[in-house]
Amino acid sequence: MKYYIWTEGCQMNVSDSQRVSSSLENLGCSLAGRAEEADIIILNTCVVRQSAEDKAYGRLNSLRPLKKKNPRLVINLMGCLVGVKPNQALRERFPFVDVFSPPSNPQPLVEYLIEREGQSLEQRETALRHAAMDGEITLPELERGKLVSAHVPVVLGCSHACAYCIIPYRRGVEESRPPEVILKEARSLVNQGVKEITLLGQIVDRYGKDNPAYPTLAGLIHQLHEIDGLERIRFLTSHPSYMTDELLDCVAELPKVMPHIEVPAQAGDDEVLINMRRGYTNAQYRELISRIREKIPGVSIATDIIVGFPGETEAQFQQTYDLLADLKLDVAHLARYSPRPNTLSARKMEDDVPDEEKWRRFRLLEDLQEGIAAQIHNAYLHQTVPVLVEDRHKARWRGRTPTNKLVFIESDQDLQGQIINATITWTGPWSMQGQLAEA
């Protein structure tokens, strides 16, 4: 049988889809090039914004004709659209879906296929082990020996419950994976050619806080650092309230840990931050950025910003604008507020900022950040930097610097998986171009 996966959303979903592929290939399935060619179609969905949810519904409805044409086609809806709690309304709305899978859980699909198709005992046991996230993972055939950078979930779910965020309702309470399982998975990936691992969590800094027997995130990274063949370690996403000096020292001191921090601000006004239930102030966020830069010279920092949160005035938005203008962070992921079901803001706050005003604020920040990023990247011009080459893209090699800058390199050599020295020859706000440095 052939399978096809459509993935939308965060890096956690990318990791989840990889685990689905691993489980299915251990059942003897192979990847289809198009949905129309598949016997099994998996939609791994995101609902963090209304636009992402709308896209998932649109994609799902597009499968109705395929199911009608081929009743044996298995359709699996997975991810945050399904959530961790039973959703009878969703099942009634889409009766042509065969399997509903919660986030990070391929087991319902694997068990359905085993029951329907029948498999050898060895195939069944292996597929179920991979689906259970027990640390054992075999990369899909398409990625085996080719995947350079992989994601490893370390914290599932979230218990922080920011006022606007649907993730705790759809991914469940925070749960740290056992360190021995994470280490086993990391070694498995490295043995299959992976050079870089990014540790994932909705609030990755909170790793181990739900289980006193587990190490802190910094302690876990120290253990991962000892794995032979692992060249680079990253982690995301952090939260300003849980970023510790122990973790920052770990980044500063361990050569395999890359100097790149993702720590969302979300807003620059203190009243908005209180309404968002973020747990820090503008001044505290500024102090954190200063501390990060002091401890990790040359660090790159990424943030997230939401514009148009309920009640946000022009003056409050200006606080956010000033925050970005002053701090000059490397990356700002921007979003317009949209109310999500069951969240505090959807239940208790009026979505009173007009959509056109949200777009205006969004574009102001977008233009500001484009100029900041262009200025930061321009400092790399003619500099020679180490680049881990991930893959080939439109006749050029594509890779990233330690500070997570995207670099395209023209070369006839096979550079995949190598850390090469590249001299930067051109810079723009979103990427850079370079050439192999002379030996």
DSSP state of 37: G
Contact (Cβ atoms closer than 8 angstroms) between residue 265 and residue 281: no
> Residue written as tokens 């218990």?
159
What does the pLDDT read at residue 287?
Answer: 98
CATH 3.40.50.12160 occupies which residues in the chain?
A: 2-131
Q: What integer pLDDT is reported at residue 114 of this predicted model?
A: 86
Sign of the torsion formed by the C-alpha atoms of 244, 250, 252 and 258: negative
Does the CA dihedral 376-379-381-383 come out positive or negative? negative
Residues facing residue 155 across a β-bridge: 176
Q: Cα(6)–Cα(2) distance, rounded to whole angstroms?
A: 14
Give one word for 277, left, alpha or beta, with left for phi > 0 and alpha for psi -120 to 50: left
Q: Please give the distance of CA 200 from its chain centroid, rounded to a whole number.
A: 7
Q: Which neighbouring-strand residues pair with 99?
A: 76
Separation of CA 102 from chain center:
17
CATH placement of domain 384-436? 2.40.50.140
Residue count of the chain: 439
Does residue 92 contact residue 29 with C-beta atoms inside 8 Å? no
Please enumerate in sequence order all residues whose Cβ is within 8 A of that of 16, keeping only pairs 6 or more positions apart, or say none. Answer: 7, 44, 78, 79, 103, 104, 106, 153
Query: Where do the CATH 3.80.30.20 domains begin and end in the chain?
Result: 149-378
Structural class in CATH, domain 149-378? alpha beta
Q: Where are the alpha helices (H) located in 26-77, listed in sequence order?
A: 50-61, 64-69
10-residue mean pLDDT profile of the chain (439 residues): values are 94 92 89 94 94 94 95 96 91 95 91 79 66 77 91 95 94 96 96 97 97 98 98 98 97 98 98 98 98 98 98 98 98 97 96 98 98 98 97 95 97 95 97 90
Token representation of residue 399: 């890779």
Distance, CA of 107 to CA of 131 (rounded, Å): 5
Cβ neighbours for 27, distance < 8 A, ≥ 6 positions apart: 110, 113, 114, 117, 119, 123, 124, 127
Residue 261 has φ and ψ, to the nearest 5°, of -125, 130
Residues of the chain with CATH 2.40.50.140: 384-436
Half-sphere exposure at residue 151, Cβ-oriented, CA atoms within 13 angstroms:
18
* Contact between residue 437 and residue 401 where contact means Cβ atoms under 8 Å apart: no
Collapse the DSSP code of 426 into the 3-class scheme (helix H, G, I; strand E, B; otherwise coil) and give the result. strand
CA 64 to chain centroid? 29
CATH of domain 2-131: 3.40.50.12160
The C-alpha atoms of residue 404 and residue 416 are separated, in whole angstroms, by 17
Q: Which of 105, 404, 112 shows the shortest CA–CA distance to 258?
A: 404
Give, in order, the Cα–Cα distances in Å from 46 to each of 3, 54, 76, 218.
Answer: 20, 10, 14, 29
If we measure between CA atoms, which residue out of 233, 237, 238 comes closest to residue 255? 233
The pLDDT of residue 122 is 65
Q: What is the pLDDT of residue 137?
A: 84
**Do residues 413 and 366 touch, judged by C-beta distance below 8 A?**
no
H-assigned helices in 263-332: 270-276, 282-295, 314-327
Q: What is the pLDDT of residue 30?
A: 94
Six-digit token pair at 243? 């970023």
